[in-house]
Amino acid sequence: MRPTSVGEWIGQAIFTISEKTEFPFIEINAIASSILGKPKEWIVSHPESLLDPGQVQALDHAVERLLTGEPLAYITGQRAFYGLDFEVNRNVLIPRPETEILVEEAINWFENHPDRRSMADIGTGSGAIAITCADRFPDLKITAIDISPEALTVARRNAERHHVTDRIEFKQNDLLTGFKEKFDVIAANLPYIPSDSLNQLDVIRFEPRLALDGGTTGITFITRLLDQSRKNIRPEGCLFLEIQYNQINVISIIEQYYPHAVTNIVNDLASLPRVIKIQL
């Protein structure tokens, strides 16, 4: 059998998935880069390079996974977020562009409050929020909390990758239960999809239910955190919460726990409510 070149394999793979995905060239090149351990630029500029049978088998298997609907990030083990690359696997939620809005809001707050430098990231998952903020502010001290030990293992590796382990303390915990420490900022992208709705979504086939299932109403964990956080947020501190677009009703709950706070809603790129900012 004649050896297969990189260019030949890419051409056939793009044809194979062309009717299944919107960006076949991008996804196939990402797979080739990941499996072959080469930069995407190398993949494009070396189409004549020959593949050995083991490489072809690994590449074909990755395409098969893509065709089943498995997210590209789990196949490559990587996801870009706010300009940084993060390791991801099926123990953590894949970071979404919507969460970058929360990070942007938190960064703006810290820039406007240079004397405030403590933060809690609740439900840290891959560590995307905590690590991105730590990367931006070398003097920021962060406590990153998750109930999943497997998720924390991934988050710690990402912190090592981005050289911010000295700025982040990772804790396995159920939200802020038992915490006495106080923070200037509390940020959280908690599970917010209602249980019944989640069962109808493709996302549950691959991503961890623990990171998605927000209980009957979708705001079970958000409500718990609002209650707990009152003893952990410093005066004139700020909370940032990511929500589902149709969960504006959480505003009334915020008013119960923080009646004197200024609450703002930040829309995502689709002009849908996505982040709630609670300024004490």
Percent of the chain having pLDDT more than 70? 99
Tokens representing residue 4 in the block: 């297969």
**Which residues make beta-bridge pairs with 87?**
78
Predicted pLDDT at 69:
94
Residue 3 pLDDT: 74
Reduced 3-state DSSP string for 170-225: EEECCCCCCCCCCEEEEEECCCCECHHHHCCCHHHHCCCHHHCECCCCCCHHHHHH
Q: What is the pLDDT of residue 2?
A: 62
Q: Which residues pair with 4 in a beta bridge?
A: 51
The whole-model pTM stands at 0.94
Q: How confident is the model at residue 122 (pLDDT cuts 50, 70, 90)?
A: very high
Taking residues 10-26, what's their average pLDDT?
93
Full DSSP string of 20-56: T-S-HHHHHHHHHHHHHT--HHHHHH-TTPEEPHHHH
Q: Is the pLDDT of residue 57 over 70?
A: yes
Residue 95 in this model has a pLDDT that exceeds 70: yes
In this predicted model, what pLDDT tens digit does every residue of 188-238 receive, in sequence order?
999 999 999 999 999 999 999 999 999 999 999 999 999 999 999 999 999
Q: pLDDT, tens digit, for every residue of 227-279? A: 999 999 999 999 999 999 999 999 999 999 999 999 999 999 999 999 999 99
For residues 124 and 152, the answer to whether their CB atoms sit within 8 Å is yes
pLDDT tier at 1 (50, 70, 90 boundaries)? Answer: low
pLDDT of residue 31: 97
Task: Read off the amino acid at residue 48.
Answer: E
